[in-house]
A and B are shown apart, each in its own frame.
Chain A
Amino acid sequence: MAQELVFNGALLLFFIYCFFYVGSTAPDSIQGELSGAQYPQILIVLLVICIGVNIFKIVKNKKNEESFKISFNLSKFFKNKMTIGSILLIAYSFILDYIGFIFGSLIFFMAYSRLLGQKKIGKLILSAVVCVVLLYIIFDGVLDIMLPRGTGIFRTFALFIESLF
């Protein structure tokens, strides 16, 4: 519940900032029209009202609870599978440009599959190689979708693989 309040509070502050941001960056409005700044400002006002009502509802429900504290356990947060999964996804999206689809996906596949419960290293490697190679053949080879090649040695390897098709 406390997390929900923080989330709503952050949304509220962000939209209040956006209201003034668009007002200061948009050109002056012309009479007789709804300007490019006024339209999002109307949406933001509605959003702020709705988020305000939502926060009021959360706080009203809080009154019935005996204790209300915002606790944050860093080690618990980083042990959470959802957090690890998100970090893996973000890392994957960044490394693709550097090490390319083949190696990036192999590493990602093994890491994520491990996160989802596969503990046997042999099965991890086998499933990662089979799936990544299959996907590569289907999309890069058959459907001609150019997948990230990476840089340096990874790019040379990707170009070599592509030359095989």
Chain B
Amino acid sequence: MELIKMGISVVFVPTTLILIFFGTVIGVIFGALPGVSASMAVVLGLTFTYGLDPVTAIAFLVAVYCAAITGGGITAILFKIPGTPSSAPTTFDGHPMAASGQPLKALSISLIVSAIGGIAAAVLMLLITPQLSSAALKFGPSELFAISFMGLSVLTALDEGNVIKTLISGLMGLFLATVGMDPIHGFARFTWGSSTLLSGIEMIPVMIGMFAITEVLKETKDRSKIENLKEAKDKKAHDGIVSVKELWNMKGTITRSGLLGTIVGILPGAGATIAAFLSYTTEVKLSKHPERYGHGEPRGIAASETANNAATGGSMVPLLSLGIPGGNAAAIMMSALVMKGVQMGPLLLQRQPEYMGAVFVSMIFTNIAMVFVSFAVAKVFSKILAIPYNVLGTVIILLACIGSYALQNNTGNILLMVIAGIFGYAYSKFGFNNPALILGLVLGGMIESNLRRAIMIEEGNIAAVFSKPITAVLMLVSIVSLLWPVIKPMFKRNRGNATN
């Protein structure tokens, strides 16, 4: 209760409320624009936070993130083009429903269940985070290393078809995090005499480059998504809003998807996209009429949209309680806070509980406001989509450049962002994984300093570091999780042989 009061006192200030509302509007618009993912929306939103205090900044970024996830559903339903990857399952039933003359019903289901999922996840986040944070306070360097390593353990799950390349990407992220001053002894590493590299590789320009610039470069070379919009652009939404009774009939789907979405969101690395697909397939499997899915079944929209919004709340749990990001967007938010000098980790909530309160209240406010904002945006969206990509793409680049420059008023950061963007393009062209590299870069510092401190405390006895009960369990879970995509096909093969 104290946390909520604190959050209200932070958020319900006119300027903060206006900022959160603004964040909701740009989040919905960015999320709905094909080619602008939720992570990219948060990256672009970063630029607006440089002049803000850290608590207001996180409240604003949370608003952008939640609204972007919801915004993705608008184009998924109206134009069969998911604005964000997490809205892809929404197209399966949302678009057929809209095409059959019920676009407003499909939209209203999507927006209302999104709000329900987001609010429920925010409440769960409020309940779980302080407990997890208190438990983590008892942790020493070895346990903190194991937790950070757990954040990396999902690397192989990011792209199961390319385990080696994803591992290389993650390891490269960890390597890049070692550039700059040594965290224990303070000598220069991999700086080649450059004073710029002494402070390490700036995470934000690298992220902006790899998320925004890489995507624009891909679109520059191969315009795939935007061209298809013309055919659907003139559709008008007309129909009734979903009734309370109809929503009540979907209570099982909403509850299951909300819980599943939150849990998936909590798992580091597994974000809104996995949550949406998992919930959708779960509902199809549980349904008595699976044949209705894919042809305009309202429960299909409810499953996907509840889960992807619930994942936003879930992803904030490891970020606020342990200082490890639950996904790309959370990693960007974490970098924004670190940049402002906030010490992430279990102590954050003990020393500055206002962060938790502000995130919670901002999420509740955003989830309510975005329903109205999204309806308004959906009505004018055919006009917004009429913005040609030659303008939109270039504006995205300029926003990205301003975001990188404003960090330290230094054009060197723009160059770093451009290099990261070009490298990210080549990297993804050859099948490597940009989010895995970012995850490694974000977690690298924590992993290194905690591992080295743990070994120092045990005077070089590595076995003693890893034999501590919590560390051992966490490491075991992490290793199984890391190797699972490699082991799984072997299990399947053995089972297949046994059956034959």
Interface residue ranges, A against B (CB under 8 Å): 3-4, 7-8, 11, 15, 18, 21-22, 25-27, 31-37, 39-40, 43-44, 46-47, 50-51, 53-54, 57, 80-82, 85-86, 89-90, 92-94, 96-97, 105, 108-109, 112-118, 127, 131-132, 135, 139, 143-148
Establish whether residues B455 and A94, one from each chain, have CB atoms under 8 Å apart when the complex forms: no
Chain A residues within an 8 Å CB radius of B391: 113, 118, 127, 131
Contact of A89 among B174, B406, B418 (CB under 8 A): B418
Q: How far is the CA of A54 from the CA of B406 in the complex (A)?
A: 39
Separation in Å of the A152 CB from the closest CB of chain B? 17
Q: How far is the CA of A26 from the CA of B402 in the complex (A)?
A: 36
New A-B contacts (6) at CB < 8 Å, excluding given A27-B185, A36-B184, A117-B389: A11-B168, A39-B448, A46-B171, A80-B221, A93-B414, A108-B394
| Given A32-B459, A50-B171, A116:B402 Cβ within 8 A | no
Chain B residues within an 8 Å CB radius of A11: 168
28 CB contacts below 8 A, A to B, read A3-B430, A15-B175, A22-B190, A25-B189, A26-B182, A34-B456, A40-B175, A40-B190, A46-B171, A50-B167, A50-B168, A85-B221, A86-B217, A92-B418, A93-B417, A105-B398, A108-B394, A112-B394, A113-B390, A117-B223, A117-B388, A118-B390, A143-B48, A143-B50, A145-B47, A145-B406, A147-B405, A148-B405
Chain B residues within an 8 Å CB radius of A27: 185, 187
Task: Report whether over half of chain A's contact residues are helix, strand or loop; otherwise say mixed.
Answer: helix
Establish whether residues A139 and B402, one from each chain, have CB atoms under 8 Å apart when the complex forms: yes
Q: How far is the CA of A81 from the CA of B221 in the complex (A)?
A: 5
Chain B residues within an 8 Å CB radius of A43: 171, 174-175, 178
Separation in Å of the B325 CB from the closest CB of chain A? 20
Which residue of chain B has its CB nearest to the CB of A32? B460
| Given A46-B171, A93-B401, A144:B395 Cβ within 8 A | no
Establish whether residues B390 and A34, one from each chain, have CB atoms under 8 Å apart when the complex forms: no
| Given A116-B393, A146-B409, A92:B401 Cβ within 8 A | yes
Q: Closest 4 interchain pairs by CB?
A: A36-B182, A32-B460, A116-B390, A118-B390
Separation in Å of the B249 CB from the closest CB of chain A? 45
B236 in contact (CB, < 8 A): no
Encode contact with A along B168-196: 1 for CB under 8 Å, 0 otherwise.
10011011001000111101111000000
Please tell me the number of chain B residues within 8 Å of chain A, measured between CB atoms. Answer: 61
Contact of A90 among B216, B415, B425 (CB under 8 A): B415
Separation in Å of the A40 CB from the closest CB of chain B? 4
Which residue of chain B has its CB nearest to the CB of A46? B171
Separation in Å of the A21 CB from the closest CB of chain B? 7
Which residue of chain B has its CB nearest to the CB of A33? B456
Interface residue ranges, B against A (CB under 8 Å): 47-48, 50-51, 164-165, 167-168, 171-172, 174-175, 178, 182-185, 187-190, 213, 216-217, 219-221, 223, 388-391, 393-395, 397-399, 401-402, 405-406, 409, 411, 414-415, 417-418, 421-422, 425-426, 430-431, 448, 451-452, 455-456, 459-460
Establish whether residues A47 and B172, one from each chain, have CB atoms under 8 Å apart when the complex forms: yes
Q: How far is the CA of A47 from the CA of B184 in the complex (A)?
A: 23
Establish whether residues B187 and A36, one from each chain, have CB atoms under 8 Å apart when the complex forms: yes
Separation in Å of the A130 CB from the closest CB of chain B? 9
Establish whether residues B50 and A145, one from each chain, have CB atoms under 8 Å apart when the complex forms: yes
Contact of A94 among B213, B219, B415 (CB under 8 A): B415
Chain B residues within an 8 Å CB radius of A34: 451-452, 455-456
Chain A residues within an 8 Å CB radius of B171: 43, 46-47, 50
Separation in Å of the B397 CB from the closest CB of chain A? 7
Establish whether residues A131 and B178, one from each chain, have CB atoms under 8 Å apart when the complex forms: no
Contact of B430 among A7, A47, A90, A109 (CB under 8 A): A7
Chain A residues within an 8 Å CB radius of B411: 93-94, 96-97, 148
Separation in Å of the B177 CB from the closest CB of chain A? 9
Which residue of chain B has its CB nearest to the CB of A98? B411
Chain A residues within an 8 Å CB radius of B172: 47
Q: How far is the CA of A21 from the CA of B456 in the complex (A)?
A: 24
Q: How far is the CA of A18 from the CA of B197 in the complex (A)?
A: 15
Which residue of chain A has its CB nearest to the CB of B391? A127
Chain B residues within an 8 Å CB radius of A22: 189-190
Chain B residues within an 8 Å CB radius of A26: 182, 187, 189
Chain A residues within an 8 Å CB radius of B167: 50
| Given A33-B452, A112-B397, A135-B395, A7:B426 Cβ within 8 A | yes
